[in-house]
Amino acid sequence: MTSTSRRKVVVAHSLRPGAPQHEVQTNKALARWLAQILGLKFAGSYDAQKHRGRDLYLLPTQTLVGAAVARELGVQGPDDLWGGYVEHDFICTKAISHGLRSHLAQAPVGWSPLFSERVRNVVLDGFSVFALEDARPAAEHLLYSGPIRIKPIHACAGRGQEVIKSLDAFDEILARPDAGKLFSDGVVLEQDLSQVITHSVGQSFIGDKVLSYCGDQYLTKDAHGEEVYGGSNLLVVPGDYDTLLALELPDAVRLAIEQAQIFDRAANEAYPRFFASRRNYDIAQGLDSQGKSRSGVLEQSWRMGGASSAEVAALQSFVNDPSMRAIRVSSVETYIDQALPADAIEVYRGPAENSDFLLKYVTVKSYDG
C-alpha cells in the first residue's frame, strides 16, 4: 500500500436518496471491514461538512456519475474508491450491452456506437431502446428468432423483467399507461434463454492488491415469491486474469472469463473517461429457442454488489495468508429468518426494501473444498 493511501480514511456512502436500511447498513459493514483489512481508520458514512477536503477512500453504493459528483467527493481515479465512475448515467447500466435498432433510433447524450461494435460477439442478441416509437421495430426484429426478455435498464436483482413470446403480447405492453416513461428511461430487449446458468467474473483493485474471480450466482424467492438475487459462489485468486486462467477450469467458465475481458476492454476504449476499481460482469449461458447453446455478457457492475462481501472475505483471507493460491467464497442473501450457519460471517440482518426480513452472510472454504 502506498504512503498516500495510508493517509486516507475509509468512508461509506449511500448515494440513493431514501435508500433502504439493508443497503445503507451493508455499505457501512463492508466499509468498516475494508478499513480494518487495509489498516485504515473507518470514518463512518459520508458527510459533506465533516469530510469535505479530507483524503478519502470511498465505498459508494452506486457508480459515481458525472464530473461534478466525483469532484465533490474528491474522487480523481480508481485509487480513491472501491467502485467506479462514468460520465453519463446510462454507461453504468445494462443499456450499453446492446446497440440501437438503427442509426435513426434515439440515444442518450454520450452514447458510443463503438462499444456495441466491440462486444457484438460476446453478448446475446438484443437492442437498447430509449424511446417508445423505437420499441416495436426492435421487438419485431428479435421476436422472429424466439421469445425476448424486457429489462428496464435501472432495475437490479432481476426485478421488473418480463418475457414476451409474441408481438401481440408486446403491443399490450406498449398500450400500458406508463409505457412512454418505461421506454424513455431505457429498456433492453434481449433474447430469452432457457436452462440458464449465470456466471460472475470480475476483478477488484484494492490498495496494492488485485483479485480476480469467476463463479456463479443463483436466485431465491423474496417474501412476495418473486425470484431475485440469492447469492454468489466465487473462486478467487490474488492476481490478474492470467492467474485465474492458470487454474483448472471448465471450458464454459473459461469462455465466460474471455467474454468478460472483451467487454471490460471495450468499456475502456469506448468510454475513455470511465474508471473502476471494482469490475464485475454477469455472463448468461443457456439454450436459445432453437436449442442452441448461447453465452453472453448481460451487464456490468462497477459498484458495490451482491458479491462484494465475498470479495472482501477473499481479500481478508489473502492478507491473513499471503501464500494462499486461491480460495472459494460465497455470499448469501435469504429472506427466511434463520440462525447463522456455522463459521459464516454475518453482513446484515434486518428489514429489506420489499420484505420484512433479509439475512446476508458470507462463507469461506479452501480452494480444494
Secondary structure (DSSP) of 217-251 = EEEEE-TTS-EEEEEEEEEEEES-HHHHHTS---H
Q: How many domains does the chain have?
A: 3
Model confidence over 246-275: pLDDT tens digits? 999 999 999 999 999 999 999 999 999 999
Together in a domain, 267 and 137: no
Listed residues 164, 192, 220: the one ending a domain: 192
Supply the pLDDT for residue 1: 42
What is the amino acid identity at position 149? R
Model confidence over 91-138: pLDDT tens digits? 999 999 999 999 999 999 999 999 999 999 999 999 999 999 999 999
Provide the residue range defining the domain that includes 182. 93-123+125-192
Residues in the chain: 369
- The CA angle 312-235-63, to the nearest 5 degrees, is 45
Model confidence over 293-327: pLDDT tens digits? 999 999 999 999 999 999 999 999 999 999 999 99
Asked whether residue 171 carries a pLDDT value surpassing 90, the answer given is: yes
Together in a domain, 81 and 118: no
**CATH number of domain containing 354:** 3.30.470
Q: Which three cell numbers stand for residue 219?
A: 436466485
**CATH number of domain containing 150:** 3.30.1490.20
Together in a domain, 255 and 351: yes
Together in a domain, 246 and 351: yes
d(CA 114, CA 271): 9
Q: Note the maximum CA span of the chain.
A: 62
pLDDT band per the 50, 70, 90 thresholds, residue 2: very low
Supply the pLDDT for residue 230: 93
Q: Which three cell numbers stand for residue 220?
A: 431465491
* Residue burial 293-309, b: 16+ Cβ < 10 Å; e: rest: ebbbbbbbbbbbbbbbb
Together in a domain, 11 and 48: yes
Supply the pLDDT for residue 158: 60
Find the mean pLDDT for residues 350-360.
91
Average pLDDT, the chain: 94
Supply the pLDDT for residue 3: 41
C-beta of residue 257 within 8 angstroms of C-beta of residue 177 = no
Q: Strand locations in 31-154, DSSP E?
A: 41-45, 56-60, 64-65, 84-86, 126-129, 148-152
Rounded (10°) angle between helices 21-38 and 308-320: 20
Listed residues 154, 171, 192: the one ending a domain: 192
For residue 200, the SS3 value is: strand
* Residue burial 223-236, b: 16+ Cβ < 10 Å; e: rest: eeeeebbbbbbbbb
Together in a domain, 98 and 82: no
Find the mean pLDDT for residues 270-284.
97
